[in-house]
Amino acid sequence: MSTQSTPTTSTDVNKPAAQAKPPARKLSLPVVLLLVAGLLVLTSVVRLITGADGITSTGQMSAALRLAVPIGLAGLGGLWAERAGVVNIGLEGMMILGTWFGAWAGYQWGPWTGIVFGILGGAIGGLLHAVITITFNVNHIVSGVAINILALGATRYLSIFTFADVDGGTAKQSPPIDSLGTWTVPGVADGLHDLGDKGWFLVSDVAGLLGGVLTDLSPLTLIAILLVPASWWVLWRTSFGLRLRSCGENPVAAESLGVNVYKYKYLAVIISGGFAGLGGAFLSLVSSNIYLEGQTGGRGYIGLAAMIFGNWMPGGLALGAGLFGYTDSLRLRGGGENVHAVLLLLVFLLVFAVGYLIWRRRFLPGAVTAVAAALLLVWYLLSDEVPSQFVSMTPYVVTLLVLALSAQRLRMPKADGLPYRKGQGG
């Protein structure tokens, strides 16, 4: 008597391993808001202890927002691509294309036209990445790195012919570009600024945070902020988003239900490039009003880190971008004094982390965290200011620390980075 054996798939083989590790519980919105409020209270305590009023000032928060926007836009680009199953390491190159095309068009036809061309420049990079990875099934990492190198070389070559012979321009930078302008909420911003200067516990810190959002705000900053909930709504509340995300979870199953997987992957990666290009245009049109070679400064990679920190969700991505933007703003405003105060804040946070790990009976990680907290406390007590070299590397150190501490809660799309061929499930 013959017996029929049920064919096993890679999903079936890996099923026990997947079941052995329980999925991480998602943080609800009230819990996230409670954590943010707790962090704000702790920051206020640190400000009173250290006297570093600049860590929550209106100027500090405004600079943090301005620095967080291009990181957040790059992270949104990575989110769209990876939710469709395509790893986009080429975000940095697409941002570079956005900076150049945005400045080139902005110089000739105005900053709003520059924004459109910045998006188109990044989308061209996204289209190239899509052709290489989706049509030709080239490794996603290899393609992304190649685009980063290609974008750097292409913009350097183009700058020689477009900016070198123009007044105020060189082979590495563009002439000054007209500003988009800024706006401040009248009355409210001034009142918040006054409250922030009083140094009151928590009240001044909240006033500084809100004042930074409502002061000297660029129209493009407002657009970037609105793109976060818009992306969430499209990806999680529309049939288009459901089909797109299904391509990143199980493209074979999506194909069996009639989804054109190639089409949705292409759209996602092109949109991804457009977001990154918009982030690049922000750098050349808003942050500095000039294109300068190398001005992205690795923000495409940090945006990718913010996306991973946010667990491939728009809200978490925004928090990660805000964190990285804030640490970068510490380097620009106050320098070593503010970073020195943040050392004490890190000590407090690590102490809470030790308590949480012990409560979860994870004693070895708890012991390691306790040692790290003790070393940071010793550093804080034995010094008055952090060296400028460390201040410059603060954003990148925070990037590594955040990714290391959040690694246990990460859940990437199941088919992210895996090759796909039409009909492979048949």
The mean pLDDT of 399-406, rounded to a whole number, is 67
Buried b (16+ CB within 10 A) or exposed e, 243-256: bbbbbbebbbebbe
pLDDT of residue 395: 66
Asked if the model's pLDDT at residue 11 lies above 60, the reply is no
pLDDT, tens digit (0-9, with 9 covering 90-100), for 32-71:
778 888 888 999 999 999 888 888 888 889 899 999 999 9
Which residue did the predictor score with more confidence, 310 or 154?
154
Give the N- to C-terminal CA distance of the chain in Å, as an integer. 29
Q: Residues, the chain, total?
A: 426
* Host H or E run for residue 12: helix 10-13
pLDDT in tens, 134-165: 999 999 999 999 999 999 999 999 999 899 88
Confirm or reject CATH 1.10.3470.10 for domain 52-182+217-334, answering yes or no.
Answer: yes
The pLDDT, as a whole number, for residue 99 is: 97
Nearest to 293 by CA among 95, 106, 70: 95
Residue ranges per structural domain of the chain:
52-182+217-334
Tell me the backbone φ, ψ of residue 348, rounded to 5 degrees. -60, -45
Q: What is the mean pLDDT of residues 173-183?
A: 90
pLDDT of residue 18: 40
Amino acid 403: pLDDT: 67
- The pLDDT value recorded for residue 126 is 97
With bands split at pLDDT 50, 70 and 90, how would you rate the model's confidence at 17? very low
pLDDT reported for residue 342? 85
Which range is least confidently modeled, 93-107, 185-199, 243-257, 314-328?
A: 185-199
Residues 195, 197, 198: CA angle, nearest 5 degrees: 70
d(CA 75, CA 79): 6
What DSSP character marks residue 350? H
Q: How many CB atoms lie within 10 A of CB 12?
A: 10
Overall average pLDDT of the 228-251 stretch? 96
Bin 9: left if φ > 0, else alpha if -120 < ψ < 50, else beta.
beta
Q: Is the model's pLDDT at 1 over the cut of 60?
A: no
| Average model confidence (pLDDT) across the chain | 86
Determine the Cα–Cα distance for residues 147 and 93; give it in Å rounded to an integer: 6
15 pLDDT higher than 60: no
Closest by CA position to 62, among listed 291, 322, 300:
322
User: Which pair of structure tokens corresponds to residue 352?
Assistant: 């809470």
The one-letter amino acid at 236? W
Q: Looking up tokens 């808001």, which residue turns up?
A: 33
- Cβ atoms of 108 and 163 within 8 Å: the answer is no
Bridge partners, residue 183, by sequence = 217
CA distances, 139 to each of 203, 271, 327, 368 (Å): 51, 20, 33, 37
Higher-scoring residue by pLDDT: 252, 2: 252
Q: Is the alpha carbon torsion for 153, 159, 162, 164 positive or negative?
A: negative
Q: Are 75 and 306 in contact (CB under 8 A)?
A: yes
Split at pLDDT 50, 70, 90, the class of 31 is confident
Work out the pLDDT band at 425, boundaries 50, 70, 90.
low
